[in-house]
Amino acid sequence: MGKSIFKTEIKKIDGTATTLGDYEGRVLLVVNVASKCGLTPQYEALEKLYERFKSRGFEVLGFPSNEFAGQEPGSNAEIAQFCEMKFGIKFPMFEKISVKEGASQHPLYTQMIQAQPKATPSADGKLGKSLAEHGLAPKSATDVMWNFEKFLVNRRGEVVGRFAPDITPDDPKLVKAIEAQL
């Protein structure tokens, strides 16, 4: 049995301090997001996934990060406005954090990566190949690859899955993993 993430301290996008304990007993999909990324349209699919399963105890939690080619340069207020205006996001959003390995990595990501060191790759692996070609590949095999990597957390707060950024929110592999936890 893994360690629960529910005691992890975080801040909502408005700066309010809280913990993930607010979501205890729910299935979570934790995603590092960005508003200027080729994968940004996943916001729409994440919202649909949230709407589809929220009545069954499911939450999508968005954590903006500006560590991948500067694709999230906005302030927390600008990010919140963008998500609401462009995609009608209703799922919880949190303060911009560091998700990459290193001294500034947020404890939530340190803990999730320890629990799930490697992501399930996409079927074609195109994103990983493209990042490598452009010198943007992760520094280590356990590091978050890019924006929109997804961590699946069960109702006990244990990380039970990790999915590459180019596995879309409506990918049957991800949906099946979520349904198995619900």
Residues tagged active-site: 37
The answer to whether 44 and 82 are in contact (CB under 8 A) is no
Residue 21 corresponds to which tokens in the numbers above?
A: 């304990």
Please give the Cα distance from 72 to 86 (Å, whole number).
15
Asked whether 159 and 112 are in contact (CB, 8 A), the reply is yes
Q: How far is CA 108 from CA 27, 77, 86, 104, in A?
A: 16, 22, 27, 12
DSSP 88: -
